[in-house]
Amino acid sequence: MTDPDHDIEQALASLRPRAPSPALTARLAHELDAPASRRGVIIAWSAGLSAVAAALVAAFVFLGGVAEPEAPTYRLVHVEQTRPDVQYFRPVQMEDGSYARPLRVRWQDTTRWEDARGNTRLINYRPNDQFALLPIETN
């Protein structure tokens, strides 16, 4: 075949690696064996230091940790509901021929809670706005 890729593939297939020299294998064996003893010492020291650090963290968390403040205990101090503001509008004729008067009522609810220990207050303010149609009876 005259395909250049085929020639390259054939050339690469015919390549065979050389066997390493005895000096190279001896040096590799020496390098791989030497750190094993040092590696064991490093692993032992790392494990020991990790255990000491974990013990210190556990002692700090369980024995000397900052205590969480207690949650506030609110008690109801004041409740207020304003007088409703009622607005009447002109009567309207419904689809069935009857009449109804539109009505809007507005008021506000306020509750106040206090925690004596923390001297904190919680005020819940709710404005209310209701709209309704009051049926009107005609004779």
Please give the pLDDT value at position 76: 92
Domain boundary among 6, 35, 62: 62
Query: Is 41 in the same domain as 90?
Result: no
Q: Are residues 79 and 45 in the same domain?
A: no
**What is the per-residue pLDDT for 139?**
61
Q: Domain residues for 25?
A: 20-62
- In a domain, residue 8? The reply is no
Give every residue of the chain whose pLDDT is below 50, as ranges: none
Q: What is the per-residue pLDDT for 35?
A: 54
Question: Are residue 90 and residue 128 in the same domain, yes or no?
Answer: yes
pLDDT attached to residue 57 = 83
Q: Give the integer Cα–Cα distance in Å for 52 and 47.
A: 9
Beta strands 92-93 and 99-115: pairing type?
Answer: antiparallel
Among 100, 94, 110, which residue's Cα sits nearest to residue 131? Answer: 100
Q: What is the pTM of this model?
A: 0.43
Total domains in the chain come to 2
| 83 in Cβ contact with 107 (< 8 Å) | yes
